[in-house]
Structure 1
Amino acid sequence: MGIDEAGRGPVIGPMVLCGLVATEDQEEELRKIKVADSKTLSPKKREELSEKIEGIATHIIILRIPAHKIDANRKKGINLNQIEAIKMAEIIDMIKPDKVYIDSPSYNSNKFMEYLSSKLEHKKVEIIAENYADKKYAVVSAASIMAKVDRDAQIKKLEQEIGEPLGVGYPHDELTIKHLEKIARENKGKMPRYVRTTWDTTKQIIKKYEQKGLVGFLQKIGKE
C-alpha cells in the first residue's frame, strides 16, 4: 500500500489523501505506465494516468480534509503534519495492510512515523516513511496522482458553485489572491468555510479588510 497527499499548502480547498493498494504484479503495471510524482506531471497527463491506475489498483481510498476542519485542528494546536498522520492512520486501519509506503511530510521521518504509529489501531503493519517516496515507489506515485486529480476536481467543483475562477488555490496564484481579496472586501474580512483562515496569507487579507470595515464604521459614526 502507498499513501500520499495533495493540497498541504493552499489557502483554498481541502487537503486530499489517497491510500492505494497494489500487488507486486500491479506495481509492475504501474511502473510500465510510467507513474511519477504528480507535481512533475501536467493536469492532462495526471488525468490520463488516473484512469489507468483505477484499472490496475486493488483498492483506492480517498480522504478529504476540508479547509474549515484543518483550521479547527490547527486552532487546537494540532499541526498539519499531525493532521496528515491522523488521516493516514485512518486509511491504514480501513485496509489493514502488511506493509505501507508513505511520502513523509516531515524532514524527521522517524518522528512522523512514531506519531502515525501511535494513532493506529492496526499495529501489525510495517511502515516505510521516507521523504520523496512519491519519486521512489510506484505505489506512492500512483497515490500521489490520484490525490492530486481529486483535489483538482474539488477546486473545479468549487469554481462552478461560486461562479468564478479560483486558480490553483495557492498563495502564489493571482486568481486565488484576487478571489480572497474580493470576498474579504465584500464581507469585511469574513471568509467562507472553503478558505483556510489560519494561513498567514489569509490572516493578512482578513486584517486588511477588517481594519477598512472598522474605519468605515467609525467615519459613519463621526458623521452622525
Structure 2
Amino acid sequence: MLIGGVDEAGRGSILGPLVVAGVSVRQSRLTNLKEMGVRDSKLLTPTARARLVDEIKSVADHYHVHAIDTAEIDSSVLLKGLNRLEAKAMAHVITRIRADEVYVDCCDTNPGRYRDHIASHLEECPKIHSMHHADRINVAVSAASILAKVTRDSEIQKLKKKHRNIGSGYPSDEKTMLFIRNWVARKKCAPVFARKSWKPMRLLLEGLEQRARV
C-alpha cells in the first residue's frame, strides 16, 4: 500500500512561485523516513533539508514537484480562488504519485471542503485526508514539505543571483519590500516575478498610478 503526502511552500510570498510537492511511500517504509530525521521542513535547517532530499527520493516510490508562477497566482487571487488553485495543483501532484491513500496539508479553514476541491480534479480519487498542520503530524507530508521548500528556496536563489538583495521573498521581510519599492520607483512597474495581487504590491502600483495622473 502506497501512502502519499502533499504540501506546499511559498504560499504567502510576494516574490517567486508557489511550489506544491508530493511523495508516495510504501507503508512499511514510513519508519525509514522518521529514522532519517524527516519532519516539518520549517523545523529543519537549510543544510538538513538539502541532505534529506536525496534520502527521501531514495525511499519514495514516486515523487513530483509542481511550481505555480506569479501570473497564474495573480489570476486566481483576482477571482478569490487561491485555495482552489492550490487544490488543483495538489490534484495534479496526486495523479503523479499514484498513492492509494493521501494526506494533504489543508490551507482552507474547512478541511472537508478542501478535500472536495481536490477530488473534483481527479478522475480516479484515492482516499484523501485533508488536515491542518499535516506537515507536523504525518511523516509523508513532512517529506513532501521538504521537497517543496528546497525547490522553492532554489528558485529564490536563482532570483538572488540575478537581482541580489531580494531577501526571503516574503512581505514581512524589510529587505524584500525595500527591493520592491526601489524596483517600482525605478522601473515604474512590478517585477515579473512578483505577485501583483498581493496588497503591498497593489498599494505601490496604485500610488504609482496616482502620481502619474497628477
TM-score (structure 1 length as normaliser): 0.89
C-alpha separation in 2, matches of 1:62 and 1:46: 15
Task: State which of 23, 26, 31 in structure 2 corresponds to 1:28.
Answer: 31
* 1:18-167 correspondence to structure 2 within 5 Å: 18-75=21-78, 77-123=79-125, 125-162=126-163, 164-167=164-167
Native 8 Å contact 1:96 1:122 kept in 2 = no
Aligned match of 1:199: 198
Q: For residue 177 of structure 2, what is the aligned residue in structure 1? A: 177
Alignment deviations for residues 89-116 of structure 1 (CA, whole Å, 9 cap, x no partner): 1112233321111111112101111111
Please tell me the root mean square deviation across aligned C-alpha atoms, in Å: 1.4
SS in 2 for 1:10: coil
Contact persistence 2:19–2:148 (CA under 8 A)? yes
Structure 1 residue 3: Cα displacement: 0.3
The residue identity in structure 2 corresponding to 1:165 is N
Kept in 2: contact 1:92–1:122 (CA 8 A): no
Amino acid of the structure 2 residue aligned with 1:89: A
Identical residues among aligned pairs (%): 35
For structure 2, list consecutive stretches of 5 or more residues without a partner in the other structure.
none
Residues 106-154 of structure 1: CA distance to partner in whole angstroms, max 9, x if unpaired?
121011111111121123x100111011111111001001100100000
CA offsets 1:163-219 (integer angstroms, 9 cap, x no match): x1211110111111011101110122x11221000000111122233333444xxxx
Answer whether contact 2:87 2:117 (CA < 8 A) is retained. yes
2:187 maps to 1:187: yes
Q: How far is 1:78 from its partner?
A: 4.7
Count of aligned pairs: 211
Indicate if the aligned counterparts of 1:93 and 1:120 stay in contact, CA closer than 8 A. Answer: yes
**How far off its partner does 1:51 sit?**
2.7
Any idea what the Cα deviations from partners look like across 1:33-91, whole Å, max 9, x if unmatched? 1211111222222112223212221221000001111012223x152111110011111
1:222 alignment counterpart: none
Separation in 2, partners of 1:134, 1:103: 6
Give the Cα–Cα distance (whole angstroms) in 2 for the partners of residues 95 and 43 of structure 1: 25
SS of the equivalent of 2:153 reads helix
SS at 1:22 equivalent: strand
Q: What is the CA–CA distance in structure 2 between the aligned matches of 1:26 and 1:151, rounded to whole Å?
A: 26
Q: Is the 8 A contact 2:62 2:96 kept in 1?
A: no
State how far apart, in whole Å, the 2-side matches of 1:29 and 1:84 are: 29
Contact 2:16 2:70 (C-alpha < 8 Å) held by counterparts: yes
